[in-house]
Structure 1
């Protein structure tokens, strides 16, 4: 079920930083979805009306343990941009989660490689803020 803002229970738990609840919901979603690898991330990738994923919401809290757990389950969450044009990487830097942002920028993940190649505001602002 979703609320009037399009949030699932996972969105709400992630926003509140409830690690144990997020973990249970992610694990139970695997059971409901049959445990198949290609369907494991459906609940994690649901976007609310503002196009925020659970990672966007977790980064607003911010609880690095929730962020790390979600992105270990689905590294592609770093690729989603919300309605305001904010990527999870942007929110990590804005929220002062410099260690997580540094890890993403140094990783070999597709989205982080794309961010590394950008000439404009993204790479310079991210790396400048991390100094």
Structure 2
């Protein structure tokens, strides 16, 4: 990646981005050695206006993956950047119908953006992602853990309550080799929070 673009992304420099794109229209396709685009960097650091400008130039950046398979939405979700996530979710409709849905995309660990949010204790972010796509809270990653398992282990009671309140949990729950969400709550030392949620057992 051009150092000037990297600096603009890290600092959220919209004017710098516009200048760079005017000089080199394809510059936003460049990546760091870790495979991050400028949108990855801006999303992780919470630079919403930079992200909006970048997506206005190239919407396909929304689907770009780095060396770990993370999309910009993964990084923003992990970092708790609520405004950026709002933007990224809103831009999904600009993509052609045959493209994957960013909320459903998994990285190399099998984590969706929702997994990333709960792994890092981002309750508000997880609730926002659940509002946008509630059907991913049962998806298992490579470790055979769903966002429900991880939320229970991390003590995210509000996230657990929201997930188990969805009627499809009882119909589509896929048992995991790592035990039930109640097992994960016990491992995380959070059983007192969940004793009222019988469906965790």
Shared fold per TM-score greater than 0.5: yes
Give the alignment's TM-score, normalised by structure 1: 0.80
Q: Which residues of structure 2 form unaligned runs of 5+?
A: 1-63, 196-201
- Residue 89 of structure 2 is aligned to residue 13 of structure 1: no
Give aligned pairs, total: 123
Aligned-residue RMSD, C-alpha: 2.6
Give the alignment's TM-score, normalised by structure 2: 0.54
Q: Which residues of structure 1 form unaligned runs of 5+?
A: none
Q: Distance in 1 between matches of 2:76 and 2:181?
A: 30
Report which of the two structures shows the higher radius of gyration computed on alpha carbons: 2
CA deviation string 1:34-92 (max 9, x = no partner): 6xxxx797111010011100000011222222111111111111121000111100111
Is contact 2:114–2:147 with CA below 8 Å preserved after alignment? yes
Relative contact order, higher structure (CA 8 A, sep 6+): 1
Q: Distance in 2 between matches of 1:16 and 1:22?
A: 10
Query: After TM superposition, which residue ranges in structure 1, 4 or more long, deviate above 4 angstroms?
Result: 112-115
Is contact 2:152–2:182 with CA below 8 Å preserved after alignment? no
Cα 1:127/1:56, change in 2 over 3 Å: closer
